Structure 1
Amino acid sequence: MCSINIRQANIHDFKELTEIWFNASVKAHDFIPESYWENNKVNMQDTYLPMSEVYLLENKNNIYGFIALVGNRIAALFVAPEQQGKGLGKLLINHVKSIRDNLELNVYQQNTNSVKFYDSVGFEITEETFDEDTQSKEFLMRWERVFK
């Protein structure tokens, strides 16, 4: 892969980011009905992404993934399914770590690949939570910069 660029997303990117979110969500969350993700596409594109600080990964005109922050909370981190496993999620995490001193996120407990990923980039499970919308158990995970 040639040069990868991280930039702040804008309203013109949200339709494509929503497609990445949908495709990656369906793949990673087979324990949640696909209809849940389908029913939330409009909210993702028109409400959640616009209210977030969103950074995307691109190469020329191709967008490969994105991370969305609301304050110090990672509200979303998604990489296009065909681009997963290439270190792109780690690039996005490292980018937001460079602009925040602490971060937190919720991840579904059944999404073991994501739990392992967040653990590998320095996040620690701090509590168990429950997502009412999907009736699924989650972990709250946190990362904090260590000042030396």
Structure 2
Amino acid sequence: MWEIDNINKNEYKEVVKLWEASVRATHDFLNEEDIEFFKPLILNTYLDAVQLKCIRINNKIIGFLGVADHNLEMLFIHPDFRGKGIGKTLLEYAIENLNVTNVDVNEQNEQAVWFYKHCGFETIGRSELDASGKPYPILHMVFASIKK
């Protein structure tokens, strides 16, 4: 139903706007300072560090993912399109075509934790701090079918 597409570098600002809208809808534990801290990092560093894929409607990106080294590094859906199967479609694509086996998710993002568990991931570890050293606990999850 949904077609997976590539993201071009000239679309990064659009991707960051989608990221921000999604984060504001789902990451209520982040404060404004944190969002402003992450925005330039995503635009100038993180997007170049991952393989990006998206789903579009009328040439507008409505959901995207980023993958590096079998890790799902980012999966964000525009708030207007949540609950329509876009995230699941992107995740299944990442597992089947990009060999994703792991995901790290903010423990406080309960909707995302539920989503990944629902899609077959299991928690195998926990870190008190996120990758930036901020006090947002991270759950380390693995796709159950590859668990040893």
Using the size of structure 2 for normalisation, the TM-score is 0.89
Of 22, 27, 30, the match for 1:29: 27
**Separation in 2, partners of 1:37, 1:103:** 27
Q: Which amino acid aligns with 1:5?
A: E
**CA shift in 2, pair 1:11/1:100, >3 Å:** closer
Count of residue pairs the alignment pairs up: 144
Residues 52-80 of structure 1: CA deviation (Å, up to 9, x unaligned): 10101112312111000111111100000
Q: What's the counterpart of residue 75 of structure 1? A: 73
Worse overlay, 120-129 or 136-145? 136-145
Answer yes or no: is the 8 Å Cα contact 2:63–2:77 preserved in 1: yes
**Separation in 1, partners of 2:99, 2:38:** 31
Q: Which amino acid aligns with 1:137?
A: P
Worse overlay, 137-146 or 119-128? 137-146
Give the structure with the higher percent strand. Answer: 1
**CA shift in 2, pair 1:111/1:14, >3 Å:** same
Specify every segment of 5 or more residues in structure 2 that has no aligned partner in the other structure, as ranges.
none
What SS class does the counterpart of residue 131 from structure 1 fall into?
A: coil
Using the size of structure 1 for normalisation, the TM-score is 0.89
Please list every run of at least 4 consecutive aligned residues from structure 1 whose deviation after the TM superposition is greater than 4 angstroms: none
**CA shift in 2, pair 1:72/1:16, >3 Å:** same
Q: CA deviation at 1:112?
A: 0.9
Answer yes or no: is the 8 Å Cα contact 1:102–1:145 preserved in 2: no
Q: What's the counterpart of residue 44 of structure 1? A: 42
Aligned sequence identity (%): 26
Give the structure with the higher percent helix. Answer: 2
Cα RMSD, aligned residues only = 1.6
